[in-house]
């Protein structure tokens, strides 16, 4: 007997949401060039955007943003691609910080997670839960109504609970548990 397995339809952008050139706006080009250099020779500012490690880090970081946005069910890939204005700037900065954080961790993979990377992962969790949003009229009410039990309860409070820890372990949001 043969079982038919349906192939899922990918929902992902073909390109990163930020470029190496965008990252130079947020970080010193010399710092990025040193992170990308494995042989001690700094990658020149003009070569950062095309560097394979930079492109890979930006693509993975974009995937992290997509994952959080899609998991929270507030955004589609097309929404992320259509961003403009301040939300686009926030998206690019988030992707760049995740990418640079990953490149930092690449330098010292046995060390602690870079604080910048941990901060951005926390921001993505807040995005997924609707605590933080991108500027679309349709998401302005995210995190309000039945999704919020008590405004005085902070994200840190939730993450310390057994339910919060179980949500992280099973990769689900608190909203799905309720």
pLDDT tens sequence across 39-79:
989 999 999 999 999 999 999 999 999 999 888 888 889 98
The tally of CA atoms less than 13 A away on the side-chain side of residue 54 is 25
Does residue 12 form part of some domain? Answer: no
For residue 149, pLDDT over 50 is answered with no
Do 161 and 126 sit in the same domain of this protein?
no
Burial bucket for residue 85 (CB in 10 Å: 0-12, 13-18, 19+): exposed
Predicted model pTM: 0.72
In a domain, 3, yes or no: no
Together in a domain, 26 and 114: yes
Shared domain for 164 and 131, answered yes or no, is no
Q: Is 118 in the same domain as 165?
A: no
Number of domains present in the structure of the chain: 2
Is 154 inside a domain boundary? yes
Average the pLDDT over 23-27 and give the result: 95
CA distance 178 to 174: 7
45, part of any domain:
yes
Answer with the residue of higher pLDDT: 174 or 40: 40
pLDDT of residue 91: 93
- Asked whether the predicted pLDDT for residue 148 surpasses 70, the reply is no
Supply the pLDDT for residue 176. Answer: 54
Q: Are residues 37 and 112 in the same domain?
A: yes
More confident residue, 47 or 127: 47
Residues 127 and 149 grouped into a single domain: no
What does the block give as tokens for 12?
Answer: 């992902």
Question: Measured on CA atoms in the order 75, 78, 81, 83, is the torsion positive or negative?
Answer: negative
Could you tell me if residue 131 is inside a domain? yes
Domain coverage including residue 120: 20-136
Residue by residue, DSSP assigns 93-110 as HHHHHHHHHHHHHHHSTT
Residue 178 clears pLDDT 60, i.e. is over it: no
Same-domain pairing of 70 and 152: no
At 5, the pLDDT band (50, 70, 90 cuts) reads confident
Q: Residue 14: inside a domain, yes or no?
A: no
């Amino acid at each position: 007997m043969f079982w038919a397995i349906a192939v899922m339809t990918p929902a992902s952008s073909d390109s990163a949401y930020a470029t190496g050139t965008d990252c130079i706006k947020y970080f010193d080009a010399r710092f990025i060039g040193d992170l990308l250099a494995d042989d001690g020779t700094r990658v020149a500012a003009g070569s950062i955007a095309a560097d394979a490690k930079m492109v890979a880090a930006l693509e993975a970081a974009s995937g992290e943003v997509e994952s959080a946005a899609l998991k929270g069910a507030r955004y589609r890939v097309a929404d992320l691609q259509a961003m403009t204005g301040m939300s686009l700037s926030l998206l690019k900065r988030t992707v760049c910080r995740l990418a640079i954080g990953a490149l930092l961790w690449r330098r010292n993979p046995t060390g602690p997670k870079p604080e910048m990377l941990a901060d951005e992962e926390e921001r993505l969790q807040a995005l997924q839960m609707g605590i933080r949003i991108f500027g679309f009229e349709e998401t302005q009410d995210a995190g309000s109504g039945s999704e919020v039990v008590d405004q005085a309860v902070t994200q840190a409070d939730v993450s310390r609970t057994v339910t919060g820890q179980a949500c992280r372990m099973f990769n689900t949001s608190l909203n799905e548990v309720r």
